[in-house]
Each structure stands twice: as C-alpha cells, then as structure tokens.
Amino acid sequence: MATDLPWFPMYPADFLVSTATMTPLQGWAYTQLLMYAWTNGSVPDDREACSALTRCKLTEADWQAIRSRLHPMATPLGGLSHPRMERERQAAQRKHDTAVEAGKRGAEARWERRNRVANGHPNGHPNGEANGHPNGETIAITTTITDIQTPPQSPPQAGGRGRRSRRGERESLPF
C-alpha cells in the first residue's frame, strides 16, 4: 500500500538498536529500502532489484541481513515491507485523514456562514465599496493624531539603592 504522506515516523533509538549488528552498507541499504517501501508500498523480493534501488552492490550476506527484517506483503503485487512500518503507516494515515476532515468541516462552516462566501463578501462590502471588510461590514477609518511629549526628568535622589552612572547620577536598580 503506497502512501501520499511525504514523511514517515522514525524512532532513532529503535532503529539504532535494530540495525546495530548490520554493517554500514547494510544499514544504509536498509534505510533506503524502508524509504522506498514507504513511498511505493513495498520493495521487490529480489537482491539485484534492491541493489539497483539502493545503488549498493549487495552481496548475498548483505541481502540476507536486510531480507530477514522485511516480510512478504499480503497484496496481489507482493513485495516486501516491514510490519512496524505498515502499522505506523496506518496510524499516520488515520491521523492525516482526521486532520483533513477537520479542515473540511472548518472550511464548510466558514463558507456556509454567509451565502457560501467566506465570512461575507471576499472583496469587502457586498455593494462593492472599496473600504469594505471581509466580514461584510464597512470599515470605519479614523485617524487620531496625538502630540507625544516626554515627561520631565526627575532629578536623581540622594541615598537609597542604586548605582552611579558615568555622569555621577544615581540610577535605580530593578530589584
């Protein structure tokens, strides 16, 4: 079973433990085959074909080390895959499908609110006014100009907690 998910869950600790007895070439080829199986549903049950897929010259010993971790698929096309990967695929697909359905329900609720238009007229006011709001309400535009004045500086207080600045003024500490 191929998947449309461009990612797959990987558990590094589990993977490192399960491949600890493999050579670097076997580990690399195994990783490549897992990624291929995730994308395409399975890998061929053939050493030469898997050598071509991984771009590695797999000896019979390499193939046996990898093949022992893969199991035949119960599909008409056959092939090999990893049982845990198939369980993870089903869980990830369920999670993905749930998120897609939730998104569809949210979009449907949003678009159904006002005559199949997202929260109102997409270009603003339903009458076509330029200063409209996506919720179908006219936006009131106001401008307020304020004169900002800085408060007068209070002279430094003698004594108390603080430290002196370079100019000799006492600065208060934040604690």
Task: Evaluate the CA torsion angle 110, 111, 112, 117 in order and state its sign.
Answer: positive
DSSP string across 103-172: HHHHHHHHHHTBTTBTTSBTTBSTT--TTB-TTS-BPPP--------PPPPPPPPSSSS-EE-TTS-EE-
Quick one: 96 and 132 in the same domain?
A: yes
Q: What's the domain range around 107?
A: 83-138
Quick one: 21 and 60 in the same domain?
A: yes
Rounded Cα distance between 83 and 80, Å, is 9
Q: What is the pTM of this model?
A: 0.59
Question: In Å, how far are 7, 66, 91, 170, 172 from 175, measured between CA atoms?
Answer: 50, 64, 53, 15, 9
- Condensed to tens digits (0 to 9), the pLDDT of residues 108-121 reads 877 766 555 555 55
Count of domains for the chain: 2
| pLDDT on residue 75 | 75
In a domain, residue 153? The reply is no
Quick one: 90 and 60 in the same domain?
A: no
- Condensed to tens digits (0 to 9), the pLDDT of residues 39-56 reads 998 999 999 999 999 999
Rounded Cα distance between 23 and 3, Å, is 29
Rounded Cα distance between 94 and 38, Å, is 15
Q: Residue 123 above 60 pLDDT?
A: no
Domain boundary among 62, 81, 100: 81
Rounded Cα distance between 42 and 66, Å, is 14
| pLDDT on residue 173 | 46
| pLDDT on residue 37 | 93
